[in-house]
Chain A
Amino acid sequence: MKKKIMIGSFMAVTVLAGIIFAADHIDAPAVTGANSTSTGADITDIYAFQSPADNSKMVFVMNVQGLMSPAVTSAANFPNNVLYEINIDNTGDNVEDLVIQAMVQNGKLRVYGPVAPSSPGTSSTVRTNGTVTETAVTTYGTTTAIVGTNNGIKIFAGPRDDPFFFDLARFKEIIGGTQTGFRSAGVDTFAGTNVLSIVIEVPKALLGNATTVNVWGETKSK
């Protein structure tokens, strides 16, 4: 089914109905579709920023499983067959030179790297020769975040407030042609919703010496 939409008064765009515009929430049919066997692998957002607490460190965030109510959050888990991978290109060719690989099994988060991948691309093996950092997953209702540390690396896994904010509801009305612009006081569709977060802070010295790196997140499963 297709819908015709108007944006402003001058352009008509045809898009497939049912598109949800968000950061990347529910935007991987292979993962979120009815027949998916890996629903825990839907990435909602990737962040990469200099640590606000230590400018010699870089922080990487991968959020998965978006739009969770508190009740849903309390039952949410990181599946044990998913590899959460931060990819880092430090030579400018958009091919990963380093990976940071995170896994959750038996209530524990383990993070390998940063370390060179066995081979770049869409298939990965776990690089157990890298620096290994481990900690318990912070469960829902635990007020103090459980943080693992090793050689200047800090890691965390657990439910968090979704840091993404956007008046998605109004945007959908614009896309649907019933509104022509955003409202003067927007309403955050993601207010009150949670994600599962993996947060990894690493010394910048472990990322090579490029002035700019290219970063993306991947979920992989077996």
Chain B
Amino acid sequence: MKLIIGNIPLFILLALALVVSSCDKDEDKDDFDTSGTYTIKDQMARPAIATVFVGASRKDEFNSTTPSTMSAAFKTDIVNKLTAFGYTTNALGQTKDQFAGLLATDVLNVKTSGVTTFFDGTNVLTGRKLDDDVIDTELLLIFGGAAGTSNPGLTKDNVNANDKAFLTTFPYLAQPW
């Protein structure tokens, strides 16, 4: 059995391996500062909810309220905004109160099996994928009425896709401009 690999004695290789592994340990320990307590700066889930429904004076509050308490804090504001928009119901058959309750709790509901989409014509609020036309969905639910046919000039913006094609492999988002 040879103790030499190439022209390098094994004990030197072992010594190198020890140096390398100890470097890795130093990296893990020193490179990342994970100490301390981090406090909230921004928060979001569904697109455009804070922007459309929450007044400037409460945006920071909205962005730092934990979702479990958002409905109690913001539902009334959203009901009032829906009233101002002339809302009566939407294609999901939601009353103003029901729709406001859904919107106030700003989370993405994500199915753990099957299609994950904001809206694809069949599935509603089962996730958000990159090519979902989320703005049209929200405009339709806010302005479209029960049949989705009210206010036709306001229920779609006629921008229906991203300006770059998405990738079929990780990380899926297109390269920057």
Which residue numbers of A lie inside 8 Å of B, CB to CB? 7-8, 10-16, 18-24, 27-31, 38, 41-43, 45-53, 55, 58-59, 61, 69-70, 73, 80, 82-83, 87, 89, 93-95, 103, 105-106, 108, 110, 120-126, 128, 140, 143, 145, 147, 154, 156, 159-161, 163-167, 170-171, 174, 180-188, 190-194, 197, 199, 201, 204, 207, 209-222
Contacts and interface: CB of A to CB of B under 8 A. Distances in A.
Interface in B37-75: 37-45, 47-48, 50-52, 55-57, 59-60, 63-64, 66-68, 70
Interface in B140-176: 143, 151-154, 156-164, 166, 168-176
Contacts of A95: 66-68
Contact of A82 (B41, B67, B105): B41
B135 interface: yes
Given A29-B59, A95-B66, A49 B130 contact: yes
B16 interface: no
Contacts of A204: 112-113
A28 to B, nearest CB: 4
A214 B169 contact: no
B163 A161 contact: yes
Contact of A222 (B37, B109, B143, B163): B37
A94 B113 CA distance: 20
Given A89-B107, A154-B170, 5 more contacts: A10-B86, A30-B41, A161-B177, A188-B162, A199-B171
Contact of A128 (B34, B38, B127, B131): B34
B45 A217 contact: yes
Given A48-B127, A163-B130, A213 B177 contact: no
B116 interface: yes
Given A42-B42, A183-B158, A214-B107, A29 B60 contact: yes
Contact of A216 (B67, B160, B175): B67
Contacts of A50: 113-116, 127, 129
Contacts of A161: 162-164, 173-177
A139 to B, nearest CB: 11
The 5 closest A-B pairs by CB, nearest first: A181-B153, A186-B158, A220-B38, A49-B129, A23-B47
